[in-house]
Amino acid sequence: MDNQELHNLLEQLHGEIDKIDSLDEKGREILRLIDKEINDLLIRTEGTSAPLVQSLQSAIEHLEMSHPRLTATMSQLFNVLNQAGI
Which parts of 1-86 are beta strand (E)?
A: none
Q: How far is CA 5 from CA 9, 10, 81, in A?
A: 6, 9, 12
Its pTM stands at: 0.61
In this predicted model, what pLDDT tens digit does every residue of 34-55 receive, in sequence order? 878 877 776 664 556 677 778 8
In this predicted model, what pLDDT tens digit does every residue of 3-32 receive, in sequence order? 677 778 878 887 888 888 788 888 888 888
Comparing CA positions, the residue from 23, 59, 62 lying closest to residue 77 is: 59
Domain boundaries, given as residue ranges, for the chain: 3-83
